[in-house]
Amino acid sequence: KPFTPQIFEYHYNNKKTKKQKTKKKELTHIRSEPLQSLKLASHEVLEQAQQKGRLKCAKCGGSRMFFCYTCCSLVGVGPQDVPRVKLPVKIDIIKHPNETDGKSTAIHAKILAPDDVNIYTYPCIPEYDQDKVILVFPGPKAVTVQNMIQSLTERAQDPSEPRRKRFRGSKEGAEGKESNAPPIQKVVFIDSTWNQTNKISTDERLQGTNLLQVELKTRKTCFWRHQKGKPDTYLSTIEAIYYFLKDFHELCLERVYTGEYDNVLFFYSYLHTVINKAKTAAGRK
């Protein structure tokens, strides 16, 4: 058959589609790589719970799997079946009232680190001390985790006093003397779609107290609900918490990271695998 313009267009579009699919698969693989090296508790208990299907929450009666995002309680698995993570700092999560509970990853942190994580629904925002609390949120004035402690120290520094020692996560500094740098008491995260974050991030209770903003500029998301039109550095809530803790451990506490907080992604990593397998089976990837 003659190579008509219609045939050329068909072959061109077919080739273009194949390239797009290949590129999408490569991107998905790259985004999944950080989850491959995590030191996680066994997912066997989640696999067994998934086979049983959704169950009713004992508190609210809602149909749930693994946990109830309304009651912050486990469903179909016991407390002894999931890891319990101890965090180096306290975490507050300010949740947008329109954020769908079932789609939020904030609940993962509350269930896995219940002693160190609190969730508040906006407009409820606690009072914060600007010298000991930071807000993890991108912005023109945001600093990196590496520069965070120094920025807090400079804020609290009295110009008439000698420069305080850098906080190293312990009571003793490099010269064996107690560090006077202000330790971080709490880290605040915003749980919302990126299109809804402005209302919370610009709230005068956060901006008025002039909280130091910290941005995770080098991390990339592998969230299955990544929002179109947003850069891949815009992380889900649980990803932001995990990467902050990891960077804080390495850059601020100056300790070798050996997976201390990997289990913060216990549910996230399992759901990531299950959802991507389902997408592959459905031919969506």
* All structural domains of the chain with their residue ranges: 85-267
Among 7-21, 138-152, 178-192, the range scoring the smallest mean pLDDT is: 7-21
User: With bands split at pLDDT 50, 70 and 90, how would you rate the model's confidence at 260?
Assistant: very high
CATH 3.30.420 fits 85-267, yes or no: no
155 in Cβ contact with 181 (< 8 Å):
no
Q: What are phi and psi of 74, to 5 degrees?
A: -75, 150
- Average pLDDT of 190-210? 84
Beta strands in 49-149 (DSSP E): 55-56, 63-64, 66-68, 73-75, 90-95, 117-121, 133-136
User: With bands split at pLDDT 50, 70 and 90, how would you rate the model's confidence at 181?
Assistant: very low
Tokens of 243: 């990467």
pTM score, whole prediction: 0.80
